[in-house]
Structure formats: C-alpha cells, structure tokens
C-alpha cells in the first residue's frame, strides 16, 4: 500500500492526543473500509439502508443531527474512488443543514479530507467524482467505440 491507512491512524492519533477527537468524524463508502478506519459508512450517516431508497429526512431544527455535528470541524472520507457524485451531494446537503450553513458553503464549512486512489474501484451505479475529460482520453474512448 501507499501508507494511506497509517496516515489516517496518525491523523486520528493527533486528534486523540490533543483532546480534539470530538471535532473529527470518519466516513467510508463500505462497511469494511469504515471498520478499517474506525468510522461509519456514508450510508449509515445519511440514515439510508441499502437499497431502501429512503433518504434521511432533513428538517430545520433536527436536534439529533445538529448535536451530532456541532463540534465537528474535520471529516475524513476514505476510499473516495467509490463515492459517487450523488452520494457526495447528499452528504453536502445534510452537513449544510446540520451546521446551519449557507448551501453555497461546501460541506457546511467542515474541512473535508479525501483519501483514496481514483485508479481503483469506481462507484456502483453512478458517476465518480473524478472523470478524465482530457482530449487525449476522449480520443482513446472514441477509438475504442470504433473498434467495437
């Protein structure tokens, strides 16, 4: 590996040593990845059950949500290559609501640190955060289509 897990552990340890662990949350797109970093899945945070299609309802004054995120200033998200644009958008909306932030302020003003390798797994059923739109890559894609 590249030492990504060690870096996440080191950042976590820093927050523990400085008595600021309550200011950080860790999320990941899968249960295994979340367990590896001592976090929870993004879907769990969003209150979504797999394939239920029922998103967490966000109402002004959601005290549980607000209390959960009042002190949080940092969010670590692991395995970003598997996080879709849609999922990231949902996370953004909920964090803005939790922090009573202007929707134009990304993630409600929380400092978000992304970890991952965009050459690894892509999101299932949705667009990835990173897409290469370079002319060279587009040309390669068109060549592949002509071969097919």
Strands 74-77 and 24-28, sheet pairing: parallel
pLDDT higher than 50, residue 147? no
Number of structural domains the chain divides into? 1
Amino acid 57: pLDDT:
61
pLDDT higher than 80, residue 133? no
pTM listed for this prediction:
0.77
Structural domain including 61 reads: 4-147
Alpha carbon distance 126, 136 (integer Å): 23
- Read off the CATH number of the domain in which 125 is found: 3.40.50
Q: Is 116 exposed, middle or buried (0-12, 13-18, 19+ CB in 10 A)?
A: buried
Alpha carbon distance 12, 105 (integer Å): 25
| Digit-coded pLDDT (tens) for 27-40 | 999 999 999 999 99
């Amino acid at each position: 590996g590249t030492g990504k897990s060690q870096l996440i552990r080191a950042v976590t340890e820093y927050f523990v040593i400085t008595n600021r662990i309550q200011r950080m949350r860790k999320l990941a797109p899968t249960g295994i990845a979340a367990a590896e970093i001592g976090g929870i899945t993004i879907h769990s945070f969003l209150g979504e059950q797999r394939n239920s299609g029922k998103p967490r309802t966000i109402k002004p004054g959601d005290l549980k949500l607000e209390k959960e995120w009042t002190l949080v200033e940092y969010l670590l998200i692991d395995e970003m290559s598997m996080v879709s644009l849609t999922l990231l958008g949902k996370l953004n909306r909920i964090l803005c609501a939790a922090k009573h932030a202007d929707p134009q302020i990304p993630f409600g003003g929380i400092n978000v640190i992304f970890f991952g390798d965009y050459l690894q797994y892509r999101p299932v059923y949705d667009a990835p955060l990173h897409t290469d739109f370079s002319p060279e890559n587009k040309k390669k894609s068109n060549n592949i289509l002509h071969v097919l």
